[in-house]
Amino acid sequence: RKEVEQDPGPFNVPEGATVAFNCTYSNSASQSFFWYRQDCRKEPKLLMSVYSSGNEDGRFTAQLNRASQYISLLIRDSKLSDSATYLCVVKLPPKFYFGSGTKLNVKP
C-alpha cells in the first residue's frame, strides 16, 4: 500500500469554481502534512502546511483529519493560474512521502 494516495484527476473546472482535493495517508505516525504545487516540468513549491486545527491562506483552505488519516485542500474562486498539479506530502521523519498529485485544469 502506498504511503500517500491521491486522486490523479484531472479536475476540469471553470474559473470561479470551488474545488476540493483529498489525500489519504497510511501511517498514523506521520507527523507533518503539506500541500505542494507543481507546474509542468518544474520543481514542487510549498503551497501551505496543514495543521490539525485547519488553516486558511487566502483562497486556499487546508484541513487535517488524523482519525481518518486524510487531508484536504479547498480552492475557492479558482483562477486560470491555479492550473497545476497539487501534491499531498506527508512527513514521517526523516522522510517526506509524496502523493502522485492531482491535476487541476481551470478553464475560462
Partner 1 sequence: GAVVSQHPSWVICKSGTSVKIECRSLDFQATTMFWYRQFPKQSLMLMATSNEGSKATYEQGVEKDKFLINHASLTLSTLTVTSAHPEDSSFYICSARERVNTEAFFGQGTRLTVV
State the CB neighbour count (10 A cutoff) for residue 26.
14
Q: Toward partner 1, which CB reaches closer, 18 or 36? A: 36
* Interaction of residue 70 with partner 1, rule CB under 8 A: no
Q: Toward partner 1, which CB reaches closer, 84 or 101? A: 101
Grid look-up 505516525 returns 29
* Interaction of residue 60 with partner 1, rule CB under 8 A: no
* Residue 8 DSSP label: -
Residues with Cβ within 8 Å of residue 18, at least 6 apart in sequence: 74, 75, 76, 77, 78
Q: Toward partner 1, which CB reaches closer, 3 or 72? A: 3
> Where along the sequence are the contacts to partner 1 (CB under 8 A)?
41-46, 49, 87, 93-101
